Amino acid sequence: MKAPARLQALIEEGLIDSVVRQLKSGKEADVYVVRSGDEVCAAKVYKEANKRGFRQAVDYTENRKVRNSRQGRAMAKRTAYGRQQQEAAWQSAEVDALYRLAAVGVRVPRPHNFHDGVLLMELVADDHGDAAPRLNDLSFTAAEALQHHAALVDEVVRMLCAGVIHGDLSEFNVLLAADGPVIIDLPQAVDAAGNNHAPRMLIRDVNNLRNFFGQYAPALLATQYGPEIWALYAAGLLVPDMPLTGRYERKPGAVDLSAVLREIEDARREEAERLLRMG
């Protein structure tokens, strides 16, 4: 196919040789299958801020590092320069998270390069060598659901041990590769130690997995892996591959009403996003 303008620049730079086809058109980015030498890769072309649907919520960007104070002031004031820098930071957050997670063995697409708003990365493939499907496009037996759920909980733990929380994990951003699930789409990745909303986001991510796979293996619906994982992390006890029980007993204390209200609003916003994706 004819290369889109944003990918033509990568061809001219010698980073890719050709564009095979468009793989996905999303609210935040378009993804293409491209050739680079003998390898078939994925090229994620980020859309401009005014053309995207995802809201860069302050919950996600809290305490994200900026290069200098001028940049930080501009982003806070939302000047034209500030919006430009905020967009660049949003894109680089995914790139940084992919490199960080791939380095510690988390199952994410291997990043190859990032050039002018285009992320070049591994193409996650299925048994036939084709682009792997998302979980939401598949059905599972109870045994398969338990297996994939356990694998993804392990990946969430490995991510958290590396200091990263996905922040929007669900069946819509997990691909089923030939050798198991692979987590994708991390522009909203959260720093576990530097974000006050980290516990809520981690638990929400894990609950999303529980609720999806619980359709096929109802026993999962009673599990509490999210709170268990966060409690172990907060106590400094969490390590990769550690056995988990899925049980958690909440300590007695006052109810945080503001947190409850935030959860309700999050659920409403999540459902709206989910309906948009499915539509």
The β-bridge partners of 190 are 165
Cα angle, residue 175 at apex, residues 36 and 114 outer, rounded to 5°: 35
For residues 28 and 53, is the Cβ–Cβ distance under 8 A? yes
Close Cβ partners of 188 (under 8 Å, ≥ 6 residues apart):
54, 57, 60, 93, 166, 167, 168
Q: What is the pLDDT along the chain (279 residues), one digit of tens a residue?
A: 899 999 999 999 999 999 999 999 988 899 999 999 999 999 999 987 654 444 445 555 555 554 555 544 444 455 555 455 556 656 788 999 999 999 999 999 999 999 989 999 999 999 999 999 999 999 999 999 999 999 999 999 999 999 999 999 999 999 999 999 999 999 889 999 989 999 999 999 999 999 999 999 999 999 999 999 999 999 999 999 999 999 998 776 644 545 555 666 666 666 666 666 555
- Whole-model pTM over 0.75: yes
Residue 270 burial class via C-beta count within 10 angstroms: exposed 0-12, middle 13-18, buried 19 and up: middle
Backbone angles phi, psi at 99, to 5 degrees: -65, -40
Close Cβ partners of 155 (under 8 Å, ≥ 6 residues apart):
106, 107, 181, 183
**Class (C level, CATH) for 15-278:** mainly alpha
CA distances from 165 to 60, 97, 98, 144, 157 (A): 10, 9, 12, 25, 9
Domain boundaries, the chain: 15-278
How big is the chain, counted in residues? 279
Q: Which residues are catalytic?
A: 168, 185
Residue 132 burial class via C-beta count within 10 angstroms: exposed 0-12, middle 13-18, buried 19 and up: buried
